[in-house]
Chain A
């Protein structure tokens, strides 16, 4: 057992900001890194790359389908091509192209969605992506990553660049609580266990990792020991970590800023069903679109804060026989 120290929210840069910064580092290290954007570079933060490497930045206008195809063409010719837009646009408007030009021929394309989930706030549902993890996971061969904070985003974008094959990375708009130190190592497909616990496991990713850590502290004060796992890679899933958690804690909560249909939760449930079935609860968005509001208000209203994670944990423990 690791000694419990209370987790305190300390905001770091947004994961999109971390993506923009590490992209510049990758650009300096490798002349084959090329970046495409669809008129959102000042929001996706590929603007940093565009500024330093104008020749390797491809502006494609508001045309996501073409952008994905151009990215695939660059990758087919040997480039490490990143295409970036809001998650909702690149995944929905580019889905067919991601399928035919990237997934099916296994093309080395890196797709980075920003402004994911409902925490974008005031812009409202047309800009909010709540289904793209499910869509990305439905593309055979795609690696799907949803990092929690600055350090994990930087490390996992690097890992994506080194991995051969299509990758989708989900990043967010608001400042993200710091979870990791800068020197933490990350591996695609290898979950990070943040706290140990015996009574319940909370599997989370993205902004819900910090909420899970807060919830674990609340539960700890109630005498419940919760294991928190950052499942930054949704596909391929770390099935070993899940099977171990299912066997050892016999109760699992999955928490994500995504529709509960088709996201991390259903994938974890599948892994649990195939290993050591146990009661599960799911924290996520329930068959609805959100609305305009401040990010914190929305996360609260749609049940995506520590309070909701802790409640789900108590409930799932109550379902143990």
Chain B
């Protein structure tokens, strides 16, 4: 039974609360790019992907790689909510503390259910292509999803991989660019010329879909369109709002990599009701 949009929205709200709470407790971390990715991850983990959190080593599971690894809190909160045994919900607030499974960036050594260790930008798309190859070689139908940041794609390796995916016709791979338009030093447009972003992916041979990355219906439709697309991989350019859901974090470069103070956390949680 697919989940209704209302159900997903209520999960997304809980995830947002977890994100700001755990980053507040850690006193460091990346709230902005975690909050911008919530709907996409919720749709993937609670509706779209063929996964069984109780059986995380199923060879036929769909794979997700968070290439923009600094958004680890959204992945941790979603996996904990989904019920993976190695992502206990009651430990989310140990984020970034010594001994925690919730490392600053996703680390397979601590959470074996993660599909890859990430954090150094630019590397997830290549690994996703490798996984796509493996599935095709084994004639299996599982699919690989990889989320990239719009700052991250300034890394040259992304474009090496962007060339390789369509060349090898890896239609079982979906890249999602979380286009929240802010990176560490400020607005993307002030740091590097990326536009026209969707045209770049199209020119590299990707079936490219632009969408509102906070609209569950649009996200669902895009993933379904990707699944129907044969002979080339799909890239979703998801227009999102950095810090989405917390008014003072929205579109605020400061909250790319700054934790809320206790007072800010209180305010954020009041808004996230």
Residue ranges of A at the interface with B (Cβ–Cβ < 8 Å)? 34, 55-56, 58, 60-61, 63, 65-79, 81, 96-97, 99-101, 104-106
CB distance from B100 to the nearest CB of A (A): 17
A60: chain B residues within 8 A (beta carbon): 160, 164
Q: Which residue of B lies closest to A99 (CB)?
A: B120
Looking at chain B, what size class is its interface with the partner chain?
A: 20 to 34
Q: Cβ of A34 and Cβ of B133 under 8 Å apart?
A: yes
Q: Cβ of A69 and Cβ of B133 under 8 Å apart?
A: no
B99: chain A residues within 8 A (beta carbon): none
A79: chain B residues within 8 A (beta carbon): 134, 137
Given the complex of chains A and B, what is the CA–CA distance between A240 and B130 in angstroms?
A: 39
Interface segment, one of B109-117, B202-210, B223-231, B258-266: B109-117
Known: A65-B156, A65-B160. A76 touches B130 (CB 8 A): yes
Residue ranges of B at the interface with A (Cβ–Cβ < 8 Å)? 59, 63, 107-109, 115-120, 122-135, 137, 156-157, 160-161, 163-164, 167-168
Interface pairs (21), CB distance under 8 Å: A63-B157, A63-B163, A65-B122, A66-B126, A66-B164, A69-B127, A69-B129, A69-B157, A71-B130, A72-B130, A73-B127, A74-B130, A74-B131, A76-B131, A77-B130, A79-B134, A97-B123, A99-B120, A100-B119, A101-B117, A105-B107
Given the complex of chains A and B, what is the CA–CA distance between A167 and B244 in angstroms?
A: 43
Q: Cβ of A101 and Cβ of B116 under 8 Å apart?
A: yes
Q: Which residue of A lies closest to B122 (CB)?
A: A65
Q: Which residue of A lies closest to B140 (CB)?
A: A77
CB distance from A41 to the nearest CB of B (A): 15
Which of B109, B117, B129 sits near A73, CB closer than 8 Å?
Answer: B129
Given the complex of chains A and B, what is the CA–CA distance between A61 and B164 in angstroms?
A: 8
Q: Cβ of A61 and Cβ of B129 under 8 Å apart?
A: no
Which of B109, B123, B135, B160 sits near A101, CB closer than 8 Å?
Answer: B123
A106: chain B residues within 8 A (beta carbon): 109
A66: chain B residues within 8 A (beta carbon): 126, 129, 157, 160-161, 164
A61: chain B residues within 8 A (beta carbon): 160, 163-164, 167
Given the complex of chains A and B, what is the CA–CA distance between A18 and B1 in angstroms?
A: 55
Known: A72-B126, A100-B119. A63 touches B164 (CB 8 A): yes
A-B interface pairs (CB < 8 A), number: 107
Q: Cβ of A69 and Cβ of B161 under 8 Å apart?
A: yes
CB distance from A93 to the nearest CB of B (A): 10
Known: A61-B163, A101-B116, A105-B116. A73 touches B131 (CB 8 A): yes
B123: chain A residues within 8 A (beta carbon): 69, 96-97, 100-101
Given the complex of chains A and B, what is the CA–CA distance between A67 and B127 in angstroms?
A: 9
CB distance from A28 to the nearest CB of B (A): 16
CB distance from A23 to the nearest CB of B (A): 16
A56: chain B residues within 8 A (beta carbon): 137
Which of B118, B134, B167 sits near A78, CB closer than 8 Å?
Answer: B134
CB distance from A91 to the nearest CB of B (A): 16
CB distance from A56 to the nearest CB of B (A): 7
Given the complex of chains A and B, what is the CA–CA distance between A58 and B132 in angstroms?
A: 12
A75: chain B residues within 8 A (beta carbon): 130
Which of B129, B134, B157 sits near A65, CB closer than 8 Å?
Answer: B157
B118: chain A residues within 8 A (beta carbon): 100
Output the residue of A55, A61, A65, A73 with the most chain B CB within 10 A: A73
Given the complex of chains A and B, what is the CA–CA distance between A96 and B168 in angstroms?
A: 24
